[in-house]
Amino acid sequence: MRAIEYQGAGGVDVLMEVERPMPIPGPGEVLVKVAGFGLNRADIQQRLGVYPPPPGASDIPGLEVAGIVEAVGQGTDESLIGQRVCALLAGGGYAQYVAVPAGHTLQIPKHIDVVDAAGFMEVAATVVSNLFLEAKLVAGQNVLIHGGAGGIGSMAIQLCVAAGANVIITASSPEKIAHCLALGAHHGINYREEDFVSSAKALTGGNGIDVILDVVGAKYLDSNIKALALDGTLVIIGLIGGARAELNIGLLMGKRARVIGTTLRARPAAQKSAIVAEVAARAVPLLEDGTLDLAIDRRFSFTDIRLAHEYFDSGTHTGKIVVMT
């Protein structure tokens, strides 16, 4: 089968098309003929050599795909064969075929294009696991989403609005803020022109933010703690702004705040299955009734994978980038 691998670490020139053996589904797994896969920041970090795949995972990049189930492994329900599914992966998505635990897949609603569905699972699982399972976000709370115009942010906005939260986002331009507002965000903060701490406080009547979803890391740590409300929760899921920072423990204690650091890719299979089940309960109904927009920015062909990465690297995209196989 055709696949994309990273031959070294660095820029888009390390992306190379190769021939790999067809994966064989093991017990409890399905073999998916991939129609498309989504691009995620983890793919970029792996390309740069700073985010290797977890032990036992494929070295082929790609954390989410969509396609058709062609075969099943021992003990797997054979009725899954022929179904259109999207899948959450630890790696292996940049290929024509991938084997994945059946519990890490979801059936794609009939009206959703199978290629567009390739941009759903990683962001939906990230948002559901971090904001709802970890941070326990509930209706009426104020939530701040950094990088609101990206794939994770676009999904987070919609799921938080559906849950009844007051959604505030940060973004780098008026155009990106407009994208977020169109998805349902209540307020947008241009972090290049405003101090997001003071703006967030003003937008919440001085109370601060109950839950913050942060992809930046070290650079924002102090400001995020200052922006939190009493009993607030900061969930850190990215390190774009660095991995090391000083923490004002007194401020943290005074706010009775929690700081949670999580990853999704290396979680045990059973935990991922539980997260996917929560995605099925919380997000799939919104897909089925048309409430949830997959926010696909652009499609690229398999042969244009380098262009897809260049576009992601540019930082100009909003929503998701998907690649057709």
Instruction: Give the span between the Cα atoms of 238 and 220, in whole angstroms.
Output: 11
Q: How confident is the model at residue 220 (pLDDT cuts 50, 70, 90)?
A: very high
Burial of 321 (0-12, 13-18, 19+ CB in 10 A): buried
Output the pLDDT for position 276: 98
> Per-residue confidence at 5, pLDDT binned at 50, 70, 90?
very high
Contact 175, 190 (CB under 8 A): no
**Residue 134: CB atoms within 10 Å:** 18
Question: Is the separation of the CB atoms in 17 and 3 below 8 Å?
Answer: yes
Structural contact between residues 117 and 86, judged by C-beta atoms closer than 8 angstroms: yes
pTM (2 d.p.)? 0.96
Split at pLDDT 50, 70, 90, the class of 145 is very high
Q: Which CATH superfamily is domain 126-261 in?
A: NAD(P)-binding Rossmann-like Domain (3.40.50.720)
Q: Which letter does DSSP use for residue 95 in this model?
A: B
Distance of alpha carbon 146 from alpha carbon 168, whole angstroms: 9
Instruction: For residue 65, count CB atoms less than 10 angstroms from its CB and return exposed for 0-12, middle for 13-18, buried for 19 or more.
Output: buried
CA 294 to chain centre: 12
- Residue 231 tokens read as 């009993």
User: Can you spell out the DSSP letters for 273-320?
Assistant: HHHHHHHHHHTHHHHHTT-----EEEEEEGGGHHHHHHHHHHT---SE
Report pLDDT digits (tens) over 263-308: 999 999 999 999 999 999 999 999 999 999 999 999 999 999 999 9
In b/e form, how buried is each residue of 227-253, taking b as 16+ CB within 10 angstroms? Answer: bbbeebbbbbbbbeeeeeeeeeeeebe
Query: Is residue 37 a contact partner of residue 12, using CB atoms and an 8 Å limit?
Result: no
In this prediction, residue 198 carries a pLDDT of 98
Residues 6+ apart with CB under 8 A from 119: 36, 38, 64, 151, 294, 295, 296, 319, 320, 321, 322
Q: Calculate the average pLDDT of the chain.
A: 97
| Residue-level pLDDT at 31 | 98
Write down the CATH number for the domain with range 2-120+265-324. 3.90.180.10
- pLDDT one-digit tens code per residue, 237-248: 999 999 999 999
pLDDT of residue 137: 98
pLDDT of residue 24: 97
Is residue 159 within 8 Å of 317, Cβ to Cβ? no
User: Rounded distance, CA 74 to CA 117, Å?
Assistant: 27
Tokens of 114: 């199978």
Q: Where in the chain is the domain with CATH 3.40.50.720?
A: 126-261
% of the chain with per-residue pLDDT over 90: 99
Model confidence pLDDT, tens digit, residues 33-69: 999 999 999 999 999 999 999 999 999 999 999 999 9
Please name every residue paired with 17 in a beta bridge, in sequence order, or none if there are none.
4
Which pLDDT does position 231 carry in this prediction? 98
Q: What is the pLDDT of residue 10?
A: 98
Spatial separation of the C-alpha atoms in residues 123 and 183, rounded to whole Å: 15
